[in-house]
Structure 1
Amino acid sequence: MPDTVSFGYEDIAASEKTARVGQVFSSVASKYDLMNDAMSGGLHRLWKDLFVRRVKPRAGEHILDMAGGTGDIAFRMAPSGAAITVADINPEMLAVGVERAAQRGIDGLVWSEANAERLQWPDKFFDAYTIAFGIRNVTDIPAALREAHRVLKRGGRFYVLEFSTTQWPGFAEVYDAYSHHLVPRLGKLLANDADSYRYLIESIRRFPPMPEFEGMIRDAGFTQTKVEPLLGGLVAIHSGWKI
């Protein structure tokens, strides 16, 4: 890992990023749905539905949903009967998820505080690993990808849902203007926190392009990697298999 990493448009010491990202998510945890609605125009709900359909969770499987603290992905997978562990580095996000699960009457999920770069589970433990809108906030992304590969069983599948950069002419400029100018204002209005929303938008711009990130997934040991762009690449579903 390099000495410096991106924090939005800033370059900061790698040792600082985890704490600073933690502050962002502690700030926005109680406004998670509003945050995602602001960043996606509400489309994140449809993208998450599609993402879970791609994962195809099944009864009897053990699935790790990393950076899934508020439960959005786990709640969608729960009806499958899979045993789902929801992991997040941020305890405030997990607390929101536990409360939301209770409100929905969803039992049986395991909630665990965990760092994606240093997972506490043994090798070859899970059948699937999912991470939605979380990988770009990890300090050492290659380390997190290697850990995902390590904890997956042979034949296990890896799925990432993440913002990227749309390739559609015209739309890219419109979304860029919307995200940079309106989203921080919405953050100020909805959560009294423009800076956290500004970071979240900037972090998208610093995330590797789709082909580069797919290469990082391959470098971690995954095979049969695939990228499914949505809205021309504004969001992408990345996947790979451990064999």
Structure 2
Amino acid sequence: MDKFSFGYEDVPPEEKTRRVRGVFSNVASRYDLMNDFMSAGMHRIWKNQFVAKLKPRAGQHILDMAGGTGDIAFRIAERGAQVTVADINPEMLAVGRERVKRRGIEGLLWAEENAEALSFPDQTFDAYTIAFGIRNVTHIDKALAEAYRVLRIGGRFLCLEFSTTTWPGFKQLYDRYSHDVVPKIGKAVARDEDSYRYLVESIRRFPDMPTFKRMIEAAGFAQVTVDPILGGAVAIHSGWKT
């Protein structure tokens, strides 16, 4: 049986899916707060860059996959596009729906979906976004194939994800911070050290920028580009369905 990485541990595919669900069920209520602590608020800048690159506009229908708490969807909706927020985890979606009520944002659609087997018909969306979610998918190739399937011709795939920085010196500092500090922040803020240790480990096991670019191309996307942030500690991958 094939095994897949859950942090530094290799587990059967069903076990990884179950464990990842458990991680995000545990951290859902404090997920956005933890993002602020872990990135010193920089995740907000990265997400703004991500949506600016997407250039959403009125009349478009965009699928935001793994977008449960709504951070990306809110930014897209502000520009007039219709957004379907999809996530495999109902607890994350519940947080997003509550945030929508507080902000008074209207028109968002919500769907509990597995990125590897979406329920939407072929060629439904003008764009597919996924931010800090694809590394938690068990079969990344299946998720990319589904993204391609549900996009219309001319549709765009856009992924914001942690990667591997190429800056000398910074890599060692970043590794030490993520391994030694982030789990302790998770323990103090989210009362869950183990989940954040997994999230750090999942970053280390995720393919580097050139490898992930090739995976996107293998799914059928054309004109695939990579925009590294902080030398590649974070990266925006973009591709088009032609």
TM-score (normalised: structure 2): 0.99
Tell me the equivalent position of 1:81: 80
Residues in 2 aligned to 1:66 and 1:29: alpha-carbon distance in whole angstroms: 16
Letter in 1 for 2:20: V
Q: Does 1:17 align with 2:32?
A: no
Match of 2:216 in 1: 217
Distance (Å, rounded) in 2 between the aligned partners of 1:165 and 1:88: 25
- Cα deviation for residue 30 of structure 1 reads 0.4
Asked whether the equivalents of residues 59 and 82 of structure 1 are also in contact (C-alpha less than 8 Å), the reply is: yes
- Displacement of 1:51 in angstroms is 0.2
Q: Tell me how far apart the structure 1 counterparts of residues 34 and 166 of structure 2 sit (CA, whole Å).
A: 24
How do residues 118-137 of structure 1 correspond to structure 2 at under 5 angstroms? 118-137=117-136
**TM-aligned CA deviation for residue 196 of structure 1:** 0.2
1:99 and 2:98 matched = yes
CA contact (8 A) 2:225 2:237 kept: yes
> What residue number does 1:67 align with?
66
Shift of 1:63: 0.3
Residue 39 of structure 1 aligns with an amino acid whose one-letter code is M
In the alignment, the residues of structure 1 paired with residue 241 and residue 204 of structure 2 have an alpha-carbon distance, to the nearest angstrom, of 29
> For residue 228 of structure 2, what is the aligned residue in structure 1?
229
User: Counterpart of 2:18 in structure 1: which amino acid?
Assistant: A
* Contact kept? 2:62, 2:84, Cα under 8 Å: yes
1:1-243 to structure 2, matched below 5 A, reads 3-243=2-242
Q: Is the 8 A contact 2:38 2:185 kept in 1?
A: no
Aligned residue type for 2:108: L
Paired with 2:239 and 2:33, the residues of 1 have a C-alpha distance of 31
**C-alpha distance in structure 1 between counterparts of 2:79 and 2:178, whole Å:** 35
Taking only aligned residues, the RMSD between alpha carbons, in angstroms, comes to 0.8
**Superposition deviation, residue 194 in structure 1:** 0.2
**Partners of 2:85 and 2:109 within 8 A in 1:** yes
Displacement over 6 Å in runs of 4+: none
Amino acid across the alignment from 1:118: A
| Equivalent position amino acid for 1:141 in 2 | I
Give the distance between the partners of 2:218 and 2:34, measured in 1 at CA: 32
Distance (whole Å) between structure 1 residues aligned to residue 57 and residue 166 of structure 2? 34
Note if contact 1:91-1:113 (Cα within 8 Å) is conserved in structure 2.
yes
Give the Cα separation in 1 of the matches to 2:48 and 2:181.
26
3-state secondary structure, aligned to 1:80: coil
CA contact (8 A) 2:67 2:86 kept: yes
User: Secondary structure, in 3 states, of the residue corresponding to 1:107?
Assistant: coil
The SS at the match of 1:118 is: coil
How many angstroms apart in 1 are the aligned matches of 2:22 and 2:226?
A: 31
The one-letter code of the counterpart of 1:111 is W
What runs of 5+ residues in structure 2 fail to find an aligned partner? Answer: none
Q: Distance in 2 between matches of 1:9 and 1:196?
A: 13
Once the two structures are TM-superposed, the CA of residue 35 in structure 1 deviates from its matched residue by 2.2
- Equivalent position amino acid for 1:233 in 2: G
State the SS of the aligned residue for 2:78: helix
Q: Alpha-carbon deviation of 1:40?
A: 2.0
Supply the distance in 2 between the matched residues of 1:48 and 1:71 (Cα, whole angstroms).
Answer: 11
SS of equivalent to 1:57: coil
User: Bigger shift: 210-219 or 38-47?
Assistant: 38-47
